[in-house]
Amino acid sequence: MAKLHVQTTINGEPTEFLCEPAETLLEVLRNRLNLTGTKEGCATGDCGACSVLLNQRLVPSCLVLAAEVDDKDLLTVEGVATGATLHPVQQKFLEHAALQCGVCTPGFVVAAKALLDRNPNPTEHEVRYWLAGNLCRCTGYDKIVRAVLDAAESMRSVPA
């Protein structure tokens, strides 16, 4: 079967690629587009390491067919910072030492950004339940939750 031609926008850039019908978005990002920041932890949608935003919605890219993103808007971890300015979530992760091996970090950064885009003042409970789809084996989540709460606070205190 011939490959499919997909046109989409990734991190603000118009992007096009060819893919097999059965290829997942995760496979295309990593193997065809050299966007290896999004990680594969399980390929069954259970670990969140492959989290991306698809039309601003948090999805596991291993459960999205690459063909589905035609004419849509994608954000991966590579697009979270603005030029040389880190997103507050990224900055707070560094300050709080909220990463140890760092492989789950891209997924958490995308997921946390999605949370704060919707809910600028989450409680600890809300942060924990929003991030329940992102597995981390190194940190026990303590510093991750603190970093996200701190990022929320710093974003609220920036004048609009």
* Residue from the set 8, 51, 61, 105 that interacts with another protein by CB under 8 A: 105
Contacts of 85 (CB under 8 A, 6+ apart): none
The residue among 6 and 19 lying less far from another protein, judged by its C-beta, is 19
* Region 5-64 residues binding another protein, contact defined as CB under 8 A: 20, 22, 27, 30-31, 34-44, 46-47, 49
Q: What is the spatial distance between Cα 77 and Cα 126, in angstroms, rounded to a whole number? A: 22
**DSSP character string of 94-144:** HHTT--SS-SSHHHHHHHHHHHHHH-SS--HHHHHHHGGGS--SSSTTHHH
Contacts of 77 (CB under 8 A, 6+ apart): 37, 38, 106, 107, 109, 110
Which contiguous run of DSSP H or E holds residue 155? Answer: helix 142-156
* Residue from the set 120, 132, 153, 156 that interacts with another protein by CB under 8 A: 132
**Least separation, in Å, of the C-beta of 23 and another protein?**
8
CA torsion through residues 148, 37, 53, 157, sign: positive
* Residue from the set 70, 138, 153, 156 that interacts with another protein by CB under 8 A: 138
> Would you say 106 and 38 are in contact if contact means Cβ atoms under 8 Å apart?
yes
Q: How many amino acids of this chain bind another protein (CB under 8 A)?
A: 60
Q: Which stretch binds another protein (CB under 8 A): 64-72, 113-121, 136-144, 150-158?
A: 136-144
The residue among 17 and 93 lying less far from another protein, judged by its C-beta, is 93
* Residue from the set 55, 137, 153, 156 that interacts with another protein by CB under 8 A: 137
Interface residues with another protein (CB under 8 A) are 20, 22, 27, 30-31, 34-44, 46-47, 49, 76-78, 80-81, 86, 90, 93-97, 99-106, 109, 124, 127-129, 131-146
